[in-house]
Structure 1
């Protein structure tokens, strides 16, 4: 349902761009820079791969080892790039660098997946969050459907910082109460691929409006959610899979 909502919004925005009255023919080639405003949805699926006794021996998980986390937020971005016009002026090739600001976070309030009793009190809990800044580099291919409007697709790479935190508030299920509250964090800058499509319309030789949908898959982040510690805590090794979808509208100035 979330994907359909994003695609529907992208289609509506693209139609609005395409329906803008055409002006005199413009040249899409050259340098450009702009700003964007959008909506992003981030899925962060947790899976605990192994659970351990405090002495380090493998054991079967004693709660569900999986959890789906997600968050949605407004995004703000800057982008700059260069276009080359080929094929008698109808085809456009380009490269673009972008910086997208917008964080995401979600938490599992009653357990560390695979460990602990969700019905106990107090109980352990977990949180996953992403950094405010995602950096991307993409290559674009576009087609001029009329003198002033281009539809395009893009393929690229993006980097995003992801942090996980697992907390034991002195419970008896995961951590030894005698050690007090324990908190364990891990983080990684993840690199993934992006795929997007959109439309741009030239309001003048220099001013461009755009609407774009982008899908980013950052793959898996393997980490230790909580280390097995003799006499202190059970342990768990886990994986987070991060996927982000972004819908943006933007304005650019072509030099």
Structure 2
């Protein structure tokens, strides 16, 4: 009797187990689908601020009127090194297509780049240097701005590597004082300032550390063209004058932070 009961219980258990297995084969719930939310969207307008350091060279050429032979002095070339800190603001627009990001950016910086140089002694035309003959020259860049295109690729969804280039604009000033003493006792001084325009190229990297925030590091090379002027004599000495020409080129390294208005 007991054996019959045990046999019946085992058989019932097998039937229940088989039924559960068959039910499991009939319906298996699908895995839960978790939506993927993008971590960064580069498309959209942005604004930001930056700070950095710049160094430039004012490659100067000095000559004389009506000509060096009549003036009695040799023309010469001498550079003035300009360097200093800078900082400002930027804004732009990015457009993303897959791993490509392109756009346009404009920025403006206050600049502390300046410097001075003393050239001495100057020399007679076709002759030796003359003690006491010298030229003092100095220059500065008070502000610096660019309007550039940017194009690059995403090394990761959060890391943009890009090249950039476009228009460079700056307030550039130079001053010179040329002295021929004690003989002849003539001195020539002048200054000039202009809003110089030129070009710039560079490269950078930008890392998006939050959905709307990023930090960047950037290098730019720039060429602001020539600034030419004439220094007349401090005492009447027609037709003599000293001519100056400065070609300004340089580099900037800077870091910055951007806030993007894009959203998803």
Matched-pair contact (CA < 8 Å) for 2:142–2:172: no
Matched, 1:71 2:77: no
Q: Which residue of 1 aligns with 2:115?
A: 106
Matched, 1:231 2:231: no
1:124 shift after superposition: 4.7
Q: Which residue of 1 aligns with 2:155?
A: 145
Q: Which moved more, 1:95-104 or 1:58-67?
A: 58-67
Q: Which runs of 5+ in 1 are unaligned?
A: 1-22
Matched-pair contact (CA < 8 Å) for 2:153–2:161: yes
Q: Which residue of 2 aligns with 1:91?
A: 100
1:229 shift after superposition: 7.2
Q: Which one has a bigger Cα radius of gyration?
A: 2
Q: Distance in 1 between matches of 2:106 and 2:91?
A: 6
1:166-224 CA-to-partner distances (Å, cap 9, x unmatched) read 22579445754xxxx76322222211101010111101111101011110111222221
Aligned residue among 33, 39, 56 for 1:25: 39
Q: Which residue of 2 aligns with 1:132?
A: 142
CA 1:168/1:65 → structure 2, altered by over 3 Å: closer, same or farther? closer
Q: Which residue of 1 aligns with 2:203?
A: 197
Q: Which residue of 1 aligns with 2:91?
A: 80
Matched-pair contact (CA < 8 Å) for 1:164–1:225: no
Matched, 1:40 2:54: yes
1:31 shift after superposition: 0.9
The alignment's TM-score, normalised by the length of structure 2, stands at 0.73
CA 1:234/1:166 → structure 2, altered by over 3 Å: closer, same or farther? farther
Matched, 1:59 2:75: no
Matched-pair contact (CA < 8 Å) for 1:45–1:68: yes
The CA RMSD measured in Å over matched residues stands at 3.0
* Number of equivalences: 221
Name the SS of the counterpart of 2:210 in structure 1.
Answer: coil
1:47-69 CA-to-partner distances (Å, cap 9, x unmatched) read 12x312xxxx3124624510022
CA 1:165/1:32 → structure 2, altered by over 3 Å: closer, same or farther? same
Q: Distance in 1 between matches of 2:183 and 2:260?
A: 60
Matched, 1:240 2:251: no
Q: Which residue of 2 aligns with 1:9?
A: none
1:144 shift after superposition: 1.0
1:111 shift after superposition: 5.2
Q: Which runs of 5+ in 2 are unaligned?
A: 1-36
Flag the structure with more relative contact order, 1 or 2, with Cα contacts below 8 A and sequence separation at least 6.
1
Q: Distance in 2 between matches of 1:115 and 1:32?
A: 58
Name the SS of the counterpart of 2:107 in structure 1.
Answer: strand
Q: Distance in 1 between matches of 2:122 and 2:192?
A: 16
